[in-house]
Each structure stands twice: as structure tokens, then as C-alpha cells.
Structure 1
Amino acid sequence: MHPLGLSARFSAEQHAEVNIEVHKIHAALEPILIGMTVPVRYVIASGEALGSRDDLQEQMRATLVPVLERNSNLGVSAKVASNHGSVLRRDFPAVAESVREVAALDQRHP
């Protein structure tokens, strides 16, 4: 991808740092997520990110569990094999199904 200009020009370490920062931001959003009154569904990418080591990605994903437990409006529609960078390209059917799921919930609770 890099020779074609279709990838970020980060080192593996920079990619890892960005991913960690994004998860920290997500954790800081916990009060907002807990207060959500509309249905929200996640499609969780289970693949490892570039530059990730050990089970770091899974540890970061686990930060979502307490939020899901505290707000019944939040849920996981699917956990897919892609990593976060390829989920829309590879697992778009799961994303589409998640959208349909939320739309169906919205129809039942106007």
C-alpha cells in the first residue's frame, strides 16, 4: 500500500501510539456513552493493528465492556476478524447489519 501512496506514513511505533491515544480518548468519553439514550451498536475488529504487540489490542477493546454493562442502549452487533483499519473494506456486511439492527430498534421505539 505504501508504494501506491495508499497508506499512512507512520512507523509501526507511531501507529501503536495513535491507537493507544484513540482508546484513551474513548475511555474519557465514558460519561457520555453511559448517558446515551439512543441505541448504539459496535462492530468490533478483533485483528491486531500494525505495530501492536502481545494482546494490547484486546486489552484496549476490553475497556468497552464496563460501558456496555452500564448502558443497555449500547451493544455489540458483531466481532469481526479484520483490524480497525480494514473493517469497512472487509467486513462491510457486518457494518450494514449493525445499521439495520439499530434502524429496527428505532422503529420499535419511536
Structure 2
Amino acid sequence: MNRDESVRFATKYLEDLLSFFGINVAVWSTIDDQVIQLSVPSTSLNSLLIGKNAGNLRALQHIVSMGLTMKNAEITRVNIDIADYKHQRMERIEKKAEGWINKVRQTGES
């Protein structure tokens, strides 16, 4: 299975998994280097899909990745972002880090 087929399979596979839970949405997909990026729009079940400490989100990534592996896909690494959760989390972490950096600069403490 080539790169394009891998992306189409991963997208359809995730859409089918979500529809099993009654979530009928179109999944947006791209390839960054050797990772398939799948983006799920916001729904009323975001917290269920993400789960505590993003455990459900990681499980979904693993399931889709294993599906690709079973199909002998060229690309098997998958990153799923639900309702921009990972992007927002990254921004919060960056802001915390900037705050710590500024504090160290002001106080001179490390």
C-alpha cells in the first residue's frame, strides 16, 4: 500500500471507528514526513474521544496504526488530533515555558 493509499485507508478507518460510536464526521488528513496527520472536528463527545490524560486518543492512534500495519502500508505512524486538542495543549505548554524562562531571567535563579 503506497503513501496515498495509506492516507486514504487511515482516514476511512478512523471515520468508520467514529461512526461506530455514532459520530459521523469527515476526517481531514495530511502527511508530514513519515506520519499521517488525522484531524477530527469538534463534536459533543470530544471528552469521551480524548479520555483522561488523552488515553482514549492514544488508543485510537494505536488502533489506526495497527490497521495500517496489518495492510502492509508504507506509512504506519499516525497522529490524531481531536478538536485541535493537541495544538491547544502545545500552546499552553509553550506559554508555561515562556513564563518560566522570563522568571529565571528576572530572578537569575535556575
**TM-score, with length taken from structure 2:** 0.28
Greater per-residue helix proportion = 2
Larger Rg: 2
